Amino acid sequence: MTSRFTTGLLNRPVWFLWIVLLLCFWVAAWAGAVPVTADDWRVLWRHEEPLTSGAYVLWNLRLPRILFAALVGAVLGLSGALTQGLFRNPLADPGLLGVTSGAACAAALTIVVLAGSGIDIPIAWRFWVLPLTAFAGAVGVCLLLDTVARWLTADSIAGLLLTGIALNALAAAIIGLCTYLATDEQLRSLTFWTLGSLAGGSWSLVAALSLLLLAAIWYARRLVGAMNALALGEAAAAHVGIHVRHLRRCVIILVALLCGFSVAWCGVIGFIGLVAPHIVRLVVGPDQRRLVPLAMLVGAIILLVADTTARIVAIPAEIPVGIFTALLGAPFFLALLTSVRKGG
């Protein structure tokens, strides 16, 4: 079952998407407020003094940022594909199910409650507190959702989505409460989480996220075959030898890890987790073994395009990237709803 996953990375639509992604990289690397020349690319092997502004921006700001955007897009596509497979529902995504708002909610609580409690956190730790709590929030909502879905609504997909919507509303309410209680200074930190931004992209984050993504891909390879069986329903999946509860837990931890990381460093970036797998499903069908790798590529392309647009439309200012993912994502979402309606 895993061999198809590997070949899935090498067949035709994948090659097409790789080429599109590389083209987007090419455009994104050249586009930006600071003009970049061909010489700026060569500074890696030609020591020149002083470094031009183009070379500095290219190697220290722009390249890490566009790589980071692509990686985050891939992470969102992957977690969206896994969530939809797990819940056997093409309308599910970590955002709709409250996982991302859970992460943002945990971050908001940390900003307001922890900072308000006067606990002094060493500078070395400050950088890590929010990502870690955001991650914990994502895992918490995932496990809550899993429990509620299993015990309260059994096999009902509508019930599951309603649970997700309820959790979303709960998280939004807590974020709202935090906003109400926050001081001006805390509000500034909160804005970042709700707007979403890739501005923090750096080489160290790119390296960390690459490792996380590689580990997630390696882990997901072993899950995707079994996730196809979930389409039969949970009982039938168990009949063909799938340990459903274990699989669910694995996927949920993976999704929480991926979402938690992306929300922790980039804030809430919506719609990609929903749209990327759906586009892929329209083109190559619902086989998870092909869907998951392709959804990562499509997610990377969408976020890279959205972020590049956000960077260049208002030079020297920048538009929040969430606006452009929604501009791309909302029409797709409507198309998805229409096609579901037509399909009955």
Partner 1 sequence: MPHAQQDTPMLSLDRVTVNLGQRTFGPFSLAIQPGERVAVLGPSGAGKSTLLKLLARELSPASGHADFCQQPLQGWSLPDLSRRRAILPQSHEVAFGLPVDLVIGLGRVARMHDPSLASIVQQAAEQACAAHLLGRRFDTLSGGEKARVQMARVFAQLWDVEQGLLLVDEPLAALDPGLQFSLMEAIYTFAAKRGHAILAILHDINQALQGFERLLFIKHGAMVGDYQTPHVTLPLLEALYDVNLACAVTEAGEMIVAPSLKQRISA
Partner 2 sequence: MSFLNMSQDDLAIIPARRQFLLQAGALAASVCLPQSLWAADKKSARRIVSIGGALTEIIYALGASQELAGVDTTSLYPEAATKLPSVGYARTLSSEGILALAPNHVIATEDAGPPAVLRQISAAGVPVTILAANDKFEGVLDRVARLGTLIDRPTQATQLVEKMKADWQRAREPILARKSPAPRVLFILSHSPGQVMVGGKGSSAEAMLHYVGAQNAVQGFDGFKPLTPEAVIAAQPDVVLFTDQGLSIVGGIDGVLKLPGVAQTPAGQKRRVASLEAMFMLGFGPRMPQALTALDNALLKVMST
Instruction: Please give the residue ranges that form the binding site for partner 1 (CB under 8 A).
Output: 1, 88-90, 225-226, 228-233, 235-236, 238-243, 281, 285-287, 343
User: 259 and 100 in contact (C-beta within 8 Å)?
Assistant: yes
DSSP state of 233: -
Q: Tokens representing 212?
A: 């996380």
Helices (H) and strands (E) in the chain, counts: 16, 0
Contacted by 342, from partner 1, partner 2, none: CB < 5 to 8 Å by type: none
Q: Which range, of 75-83, 118-126, 152-160, 256-264, touches partner 2 by CB under 8 A?
A: 118-126
DSSP string of 78-131, one letter each residue: HHHHHHHHHTT-TT--TTTTTHHHHHHHHHHHIIIIIHHTT----HHHHHHHHH
Contacted by 236, from partner 1, partner 2, none: CB < 5 to 8 Å by type: partner 1
Map tokens 């490792």 to a residue: 211
Contacted by 52, from partner 1, partner 2, none: CB < 5 to 8 Å by type: partner 2
How many residues touch partner 2 under the rule CB under 8 A: the total is 54
Using CA of residue 179, residue 253, residue 91, residue 78, what is the dihedral sign?
positive
User: In the complex, what is the shortest distance from the CB of residue 237 to partner 1, in angstroms, rounded to a whole number?
Assistant: 8
* Torsion angle defined by CA atoms of residues 166, 170, 172 and 176, in that order, rounded to the nearest 10 degrees: 150
- Degrees (nearest 5) of the Cα angle 107, 206, 283? 90
Is residue 60 part of the contact set for partner 2 (CB under 8 A)?
A: yes
Contacted by 88, from partner 2, partner 1, none: CB < 5 to 8 Å by type: partner 1
Is residue 55 part of the contact set for partner 2 (CB under 8 A)?
A: yes
* Residue among 38, 180, 240, 343 that touches partner 2 (CB under 8 A): 180
User: 281 and 90 in contact (C-beta within 8 Å)?
Assistant: yes
* Residue among 10, 22, 23, 121 that touches partner 2 (CB under 8 A): 121
Map tokens 């994948």 to a residue: 14
CB atoms within 10 A of CB 294: 25
Q: Which range, of 22-30, 41-49, 80-88, 91-99, touches partner 2 by CB under 8 A?
A: 41-49
Q: Which is nearer to partner 1, 247 or 269 (CB)?
A: 247
Q: Which is nearer to partner 2, 120 or 344 (CB)?
A: 120
Interacting residues toward partner 2 by CB under 8 A: 32-34, 43-45, 47-53, 55-57, 59-62, 64, 111, 115, 120-121, 123, 126, 129-130, 180, 183-186, 188-189, 191-192, 195, 197, 199-200, 202-204, 207, 311, 314-320
